[in-house]
């Protein structure tokens, strides 16, 4: 869908709509570790989908992990894992860090290619969490922190929201589109 703006000189010109990266599971795609989705309903998402703005991705699947797959948690913080000082492991102690790192890099490449500056990602995920992640003990304990993909995207200037912040994302996107 194209929108048009008055450029003040020659009349109306086409304005390209900003794309929004979104966790695939939030759109109902069964890509989570347990083969499920975490679909959310929101009028803004419906509008953005119709406008062709949403770019769905699952960093873990993009990194080469299957669906379903064993649950994984970070041992260390994402910024440390990104430089090789930590791990992402399953409950069986399998190091799956490389898949998370490959996935994060793939997502960053996608954002650069599509000029994406905003993302809505799944909270609590070792890839996509933006404020909380599991503590690495597989005891269902959440701690403050961000996932690997979220951290890499933030390091590269992409603004992250979670599924509970769709309204904030809409306000941010409106401001971004006004520029």
Q: What is the pLDDT of residues 39-98, one digit of tens each?
A: 999 999 999 999 999 999 999 999 999 999 999 999 999 999 999 999 999 999 999 999
Assess if residue 150 is contained within a domain: yes
For 1-5, which contacts have Cβ atoms below 8 Å and span 24 or more sequence positions?
1/50, 1/51, 1/52
Assess if residue 130 is contained within a domain: yes
- Alpha-carbon separation of residue 129 from 44, 92, 179 (angstroms): 21, 22, 28
Assess if residue 170 is contained within a domain: yes
Residue 15: per-residue pLDDT: 59
Assess if residue 6 is contained within a domain: no
Domain that holds residue 102: 20-178
Quote the number of domains for the chain.
Answer: 1
Residue 178: per-residue pLDDT: 80
Assess if residue 5 is contained within a domain: no
Residue 6: per-residue pLDDT: 42
The token pair at 90 is: 């399953």
Assess if residue 159 is contained within a domain: yes
Assess if residue 63 is contained within a domain: yes
Average pLDDT over residues 120-129: 98
Assess if residue 174 is contained within a domain: yes
| Reported confidence tier of residue 177, pLDDT bands at 50, 70, 90 | confident
Lowest average pLDDT, out of 7-16, 87-96, 154-163, goes to 7-16
């Amino acid at each position: 869908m194209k929108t048009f703006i008055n450029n003040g000189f020659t009349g109306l010109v086409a304005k390209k709509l900003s794309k929004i990266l979104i966790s695939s599971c939030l759109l109902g795609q069964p890509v989570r570790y347990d083969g499920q989705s975490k679909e959310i309903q929101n009028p803004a998402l419906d509008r953005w989908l119709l406008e062709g703005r949403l770019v769905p991705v699952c960093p873990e699947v993009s990194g080469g992990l299957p669906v379903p797959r064993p649950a994984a948690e970070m041992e260390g913080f994402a910024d440390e894992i990104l430089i090789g000082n930590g791990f992402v492991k399953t409950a069986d102690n399998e190091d799956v860090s490389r898949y998370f790192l490959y996935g994060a890099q793939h997502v960053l490449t996608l954002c650069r290619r599509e000029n994406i500056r905003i993302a809505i990602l799944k909270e609590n995920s070792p890839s996509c969490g933006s404020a909380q992640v599991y503590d690495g003990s597989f005891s269902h304990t959440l701690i403050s922190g961000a996932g690997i993909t979220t951290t890499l995207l933030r390091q590269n200037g992409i603004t992250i929201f979670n599924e509970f912040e769709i309204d904030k994302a809409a306000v941010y996107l409106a401001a971004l589109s006004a520029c």
